[in-house]
DNA sequence: TGAATAGTGTCTGTGAGACAATATTAT
DNA sequence: ATAATATTGTCTCACAGACACTATTCA
């Protein structure tokens, strides 16, 4: 082995092909909350947790749905790549973005070895202009969890994507699970897993952070905020308890939401100090 | 663009050099708890939170300390690579391992574009045979946090590694920080950041999981367990409160620890059901 | 005997779950 | 008037922080 006298000398001489190289992609879990139809002028809009998927028009997995994503440039920071992809899908900057996990199973892409770093992104759909690329679509997420089987249905109003995942306890001290895809015929790659992991992360984070406000408009009623919590957590919350928890995080404004056939509600803002 | 009739046909024709390729490494944060010297036959051993570092003997960063790590093989799962590296450092299998974060700054390695996925590993030092590679060393970790400056000292008894990191709030809703290295002249790459991120993750997880038991021997006293919590959290805990929290996680055995010049203590086991 | 740790009892305040009660609107 | 939601009051129970007290060993 040659002896180098300095780091500069070493670097000038370095052959960057010494080690195996591979490709890196990033996949984005873009989540939002959608309004359902109003069945009655008095009743509240039902809300749905929703995710953006893209229909593949090339091989591999042609005609299957997948998460928006793409290859990372050789001189591009991973997070920059994630933001670039988000920009092409939403035409928005400054979207909440958080790294989720890096998936490195050697067989996850049939073409070649591809490692993928996934990100969670959150958005208030109202801010979204309509001009998403025409192969992208928002799917409402419905989750049924029975024992250790998670049953997911994604629905964009035209098409339903169903898949099942089995959770197998892998590590006791931290309650870590191995996820096994049982049924899936419409999602590409390992994206069923990525989606489930992303939802679980969000479920956890909503409990101990203010992450939910990244999915809210500037002004909102407390009930609207509560509905977003409920739809993500997958359970109903009690009003007084919810208000106690949330009260220090929001500011009451002098605006009201009226016209609902019932007592109007005060609009609040996120306490952004 | 050529039209393919099937996925098989497409894959056979696929040129895997179509996209830029890069190298992927993994770095391991191997944490443990070390016993200090006993100053008095009656007194308890002081405990230290400790981390394994390796001295680099080649460029780049020759003679600096770094986390144990290495390149990921072209057909190797990332987690398998992490376990392989752990095995070479500790000669042990079945070590607790958890993915921390993927660092992708294009300039983090001066040689070329290298992405690194870091893992946290935890071990009970008593299980560790002495034959670690002779350029590896355990460092006790001391942390001082004042406002937004974290002041770290790593000490292996021979050498002290000091560095400072500034925390800058990056995202309010989830309290995410950007970390800026202020002083560092003994650690390679972006490893000061990785270490700080790893410690913060562990601090969080110890509060809401049983992760601590991965650093404990089979039998331990409640005070020993409490000391591990204290040394990781960086604060003293009240005995009765600690015992209340922990009591459902452990099983009392009929073994005792005697010989301390004070009341003997009962040995407990992790309730592993 | 005394220094040190091991282990328990209990008071108090906070906060979540539960449910009841009141307020206000558009049709 | 009524159906619906908005908002608040309050009881209870669980639990964490704080501190005091008792138990036990060995040089």
List pLDDT tens digits, range B109-141. Answer: 888 899 999 999 999 998 887 667 789 999 999
- HEC readout, chain A: CCCCCCHHHHHHCCCCCCCCCEEEEEEEEEEEEEECCCCCCCCCCCEEEEEEEEECCCCCCCCCEECCEEECCCCCCHHHHHHHHHHHHHCCCCCEEEEEEEECCCCCCCCCCEEEEEEEEECCHHHCCCCCCCCEEEEEEEEEEECCEEEEEEECCCCEEEEEEEEEEEECCCCEEEEEEEEECCECCCHHHHHHHHHHHHHHHHHHCCHHHHHCCCCEEHHHHHHHHHHHHCCCCCHHHHHHHHCCCEEEEEEEECCCCCCCEEEEEECCC
CA distance B214 to chain A (A): 8
Give yes or no for CB of A208 within 7 Å of strand C. Answer: no
Strand D contacts (CB < 7 A) among A residues 165-224? 221-223
> CA B40, CA A266: separation in Å to the nearest integer?
65
Q: What are the b/e assignments for A197-228, b being 16+ CB within 10 Å?
A: bbbebbeebbeebbbbbbbbeeebbbebbbbb
Asked if residue A11 has pLDDT above 90, the reply is no
Strand pairing partners for A79?
none
CA distance B215 to chain A (A): 11
> CA A195, CA A125: separation in Å to the nearest integer?
19
Interchain CB distance below 8 Å, A105 and B77 = yes
Q: What are the b/e assignments for B203-229, b being 16+ CB within 10 Å?
A: eebbeebbbbbbbbeeebbbebbbbbb
Report the predicted TM-score, pTM, of the whole model to 2 decimal places. Answer: 0.94
Interchain CB distance below 8 Å, A74 and B4 = no
Instruction: Measure, in angstroms, how far nucleotide D11 C1' is from residue A236 CA.
Output: 22
Nearest Cα residue in chain A from B18: A23
Lowest mean pLDDT among A189-193, A210-214, B34-38, B168-172: B34-38
Q: A111: pLDDT confidence band, cut at 50, 70 and 90? A: confident
Q: Decide: B113 and B102 in contact? Cβ < 8 Å.
A: no
- Give the nearest nucleotide to B247, CA to C1': C7
Q: Mean pLDDT over residues A180-194, rounded?
A: 96
Cβ neighbours around B20 below 10 Å, total: 15
User: For residue A190, which of A27, A50, A81 has the smallest C-alpha distance?
Assistant: A27
Asked if residue A201 has pLDDT above 70, the reply is yes
Give chain B positions within 8 Å (CB) of A16. Answer: 23, 111-112
Q: How much of chain A, in percent, has pLDDT values that exceed 90?
A: 82
Angle at A108 between CA A106 and CA A24, to 5 degrees: 75
Instruction: Measure, in angstroms, how far nucleotide D3 C1' is from residue A218 CA.
Output: 30
Q: How much of chain A, in percent, has pLDDT values that exceed 70?
A: 92
The predicted structure's pLDDT at residue B17:
63
On the 0-12 / 13-18 / 19+ scale of CB atoms within 10 A, A2 is exposed
> CA A269, CA A64: separation in Å to the nearest integer?
40
User: For residue A34, which of A96, A105, A126, A113 has the smallest C-alpha distance?
Assistant: A126
Instruction: Measure, in angstroms, how far nucleotide C9 C1' is from residue B222 CA.
Output: 19
Asked if residue B7 has pLDDT above 90, the reply is no
Lowest mean pLDDT among A41-45, B15-19, B106-110, B160-164: B15-19
Q: Which of B7, B74, B111 lies nearest to residue A14, judging by beta carbons?
A: B111
E strand or H helix at B80, and its extent?
A: helix B78-90
- How long a stretch of residues is chain B? 273
Q: B15: pLDDT confidence band, cut at 50, 70 and 90? A: low
On the 0-12 / 13-18 / 19+ scale of CB atoms within 10 A, A191 is buried
Q: What is the CA radius of gyration of chain B?
A: 22
User: Edge-to-edge strands of the sheet including B250-257?
Assistant: B220-221, B265-270, B250-257
CA distances from B261 to B40, B43, B168, B258 (A): 10, 8, 48, 8
Asked if residue A219 has pLDDT above 80, the reply is yes
- How long a stretch of residues is chain A? 273
- Give the nearest nucleotide to B221, CA to C1': C6
Interchain CB distance below 8 Å, A99 and B99 = no
Q: Mean pLDDT over residues A110-121, rounded?
A: 94
Q: A156: pLDDT confidence band, cut at 50, 70 and 90? A: very high
Give yes or no for CB of A241 within 7 Å of strand D. Answer: no
Instruction: Measure, in angstroms, how far nucleotide C18 C1' is from residue A240 CA.
Output: 10
Phi/psi of residue B197, nearest 5 degrees? -60, -40
Give yes or no for CB of B238 within 7 Å of strand D. Answer: yes
Interchain CB distance below 8 Å, B75 and A19 = no
Give chain A positions within 8 Å (CB) of B79. Answer: 104
Instruction: Measure, in angstroms, how far nucleotide C9 C1' is from residue A100 CA.
Output: 46
B26-53 pLDDT, tens per residue?
Answer: 999 999 999 998 888 999 999 999 999 9
Chain A interface mutation, best of B13, B104, B124, B205, highest count of A Cβ atoms under 10 Å: B104
> CA A100, CA A69: separation in Å to the nearest integer?
14
Give yes or no for CB of B222 within 7 Å of strand C. Answer: yes
The predicted structure's pLDDT at residue A39:
85
Interchain CB distance below 8 Å, A104 and B79 = yes
Give chain A positions within 8 Å (CB) of B59. Answer: 4, 7, 10-11
Listed as ranges, the nucleotides of chain C within 7 A of a protein C-beta are 2-10, 15-20, 23-27
CA distance B24 to chain A (A): 7
Give yes or no for CB of B235 within 7 Å of strand C. Answer: no
Q: Any idea what DSSP says for residue B123?
A: -
């Amino acid at each position: 082995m040659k002896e180098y006298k300095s780091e500069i000398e070493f670097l000038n001489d370095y052959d960057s092909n010494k080690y195996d190289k591979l490709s890196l992609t990033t996949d984005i879990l873009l989540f939002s909350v959608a309004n359902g139809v109003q069945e009655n002028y008095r009743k509240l809009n039902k809300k749905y947790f929703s995710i953006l998927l893209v229909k593949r028009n090339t091989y591999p997995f042609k005609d299957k749905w997948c998460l928006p994503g793409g290859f990372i440039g050789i001189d591009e920071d991973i997070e920059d790549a994630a933001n670039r992809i988000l920009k092409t899908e939403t035409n928005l900057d400054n979207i909440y973005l958080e790294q989720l996990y890096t998936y490195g199973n050697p067989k996850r892409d049939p073409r070649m070895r591809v490692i993928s770093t996934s990100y969670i992104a959150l958005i208030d759909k109202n801010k979204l202009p309509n001009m998403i690329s025409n192969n992208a679509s928002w799917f409402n997420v419905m989750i049924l969890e029975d024992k250790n089987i998670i049953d997911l249905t994604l629905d964009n109003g035209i098409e339903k994507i169903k898949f099942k995942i089995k959770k197998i306890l892998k590590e006791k001290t931290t309650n870590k699970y191995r996820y096994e895809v049982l049924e899936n015929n419409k999602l590409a790659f390992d994206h069923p897993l990525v989606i489930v992991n992303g939802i679980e992360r969000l479920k956890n984070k909503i409990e101990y952070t203010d992450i939910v406000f990244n999915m809210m408009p500037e002004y909102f009623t407390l009930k609207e905020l509560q509905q977003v919590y409920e739809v993500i957590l997958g359970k109903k919350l009690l009003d007084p308890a919810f208000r106690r928890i949330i009260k220090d995080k929001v500011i009451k404004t002098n605006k009201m939401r009226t016209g609902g056939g019932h007592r109007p509600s005060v609009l609040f803002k996120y306490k952004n100090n």
